Structure 1
């Protein structure tokens, strides 16, 4: 399915990078990259806060993407959704797939600002927080009963969070959104990371910077499921 293919995701990241907009993969596509089985109804990226408008402009110019119709016709605007909505988004034509952008302040506020080093991503120059979607030394291969794993095409153009950073982001957003409907996404996903990533040996807990904060969040999740 071209609208969810790895080359399609890579083409979006590449278009943002050409416009000097650093972007990092997020959402359901990031989960399947790390081997977590998940339905994928959107393609999401994190960008610098001050480049959201520029990012939306680039997305709106890409072939196959259309502006959001708005109102009740857009599921991304539903008050009942259990995932935090993107700040801006467009839709893939003739499908229900959304392409969304999240500001760094909403998801990765605990990391240094996303900068130009991510625009022309090279494995040797990435900081310890990130990985190329094509890096099979870090990311799992496809396996039955798991997410799709490492990109087979175009992954050298896509920057993703390493799994321990993704987990920390999920823990922090869960703590922030606890009690709200969107908090359910963080709670369930944290459990999936343990089940499908940690148990398979692909989670580097020693690299987590803020273990005390993370442990507290994990304990709250464990007691609620």
Structure 2
């Protein structure tokens, strides 16, 4: 049975994200935080226009239904992706596991004072997140996979740029920890030649 949660216009914050995660948990849907909101947990300040969750492929429909029944708003403008809204400009997206890579580890980054919001407080530990290293690898793969799809390809590139520019060299991410097949993509971004990352796409395995 789903937890007793109703969306009634709350602002997007850790509490709301935790409520969504707990709601999915309560119907036995494993879920992983993704997207812009995840960057803030890494301590990267960015514009947050929503939160995204990765769920098993066969749980997309039930995840959408339980969030809709909880009061989140149906999108009236697009049917391209599975998502609902907190308000018109703030969305809750649901990704299929196979669309953004399977079997990602659930690990928490440490706090970083002065950078975004940093590590989650204990009351929000129900929110599962990938390590910055794992997220970086996933973004490199997705950027190569979707390079011919302007909207998706550019979105992954923006997310990857945030990781490389603001997290590299910190206590949550070091470029040298990437395997050799991924490292050239970070170097290409740092040198201003993001197109160079496509040369490694055939060898990518996440």
TM range (shorter): 0.7 to 0.9
Which residue of 1 is the match for residue 126 of structure 2?
157
- Specify which of 58, 61, 68 is matched with residue 60 of structure 1: 68
4+ aligned runs moved over 4 Å, structure 1: 204-208
1:51-87 CA-to-partner distances (Å, cap 9, x unmatched) read: 1001001111113x1111135xxxxx6xxxxxxx7x3
Contact 2:164 2:186 in 1 (8 A): no
- Specify which of 51, 59, 64 is matched with residue 59 of structure 2: 51
Contact 1:142 1:150 in 2 (8 A): no
Aligned residues: 184
- Specify which of 173, 179, 192 is matched with residue 162 of structure 2: 192
Higher relative contact order (CA 8 A, sep 6+): 1
Gaps of 5+ in 2: 1-8, 196-206
Contact 2:24 2:63 in 1 (8 A): yes
In 1, Cα distance between equivalents of 2:113 and 2:92: 24
The TM-score normalised by the length of structure 1 is: 0.73
Whether 1:40 aligns to 2:48 is yes
| Equivalent runs, 1:46-125 vs 2, <5 Å | 46-63=54-71, 65-71=72-78, 87-92=81-86, 94-108=87-101, 111-112=102-103
Please state how far the C-alpha of 1:185 moved relative to its aligned partner.
2.3
Contact 1:6 1:154 in 2 (8 A): no
Whether 1:3 aligns to 2:3 is no
Indicate the SS of the match to 1:45: strand
Please state how far the C-alpha of 1:95 moved relative to its aligned partner.
4.7
Indicate the SS of the match to 1:4: coil
Indicate the SS of the match to 2:83: strand
In 1, Cα distance between equivalents of 2:177 and 2:56: 24
Contact 1:140 1:202 in 2 (8 A): no
In 1, Cα distance between equivalents of 2:58 and 2:135: 22
Which residue of 1 is the match for residue 183 of structure 2?
215
Whether 1:203 aligns to 2:179 is no
Please state how far the C-alpha of 1:196 moved relative to its aligned partner.
1.6
Please state how far the C-alpha of 1:178 moved relative to its aligned partner.
2.0
Gaps of 5+ in 1: 72-76, 78-84, 115-128
Which is further off, 95-104 or 188-197? Answer: 188-197
1:143-163 CA-to-partner distances (Å, cap 9, x unmatched) read: 1xx321112364211000111
In 1, Cα distance between equivalents of 2:113 and 2:19: 21
Please state how far the C-alpha of 1:34 moved relative to its aligned partner.
0.5
Whether 1:23 aligns to 2:16 is no
Indicate the SS of the match to 2:133: helix
Indicate the SS of the match to 2:24: helix
The TM-score normalised by the length of structure 2 is: 0.79
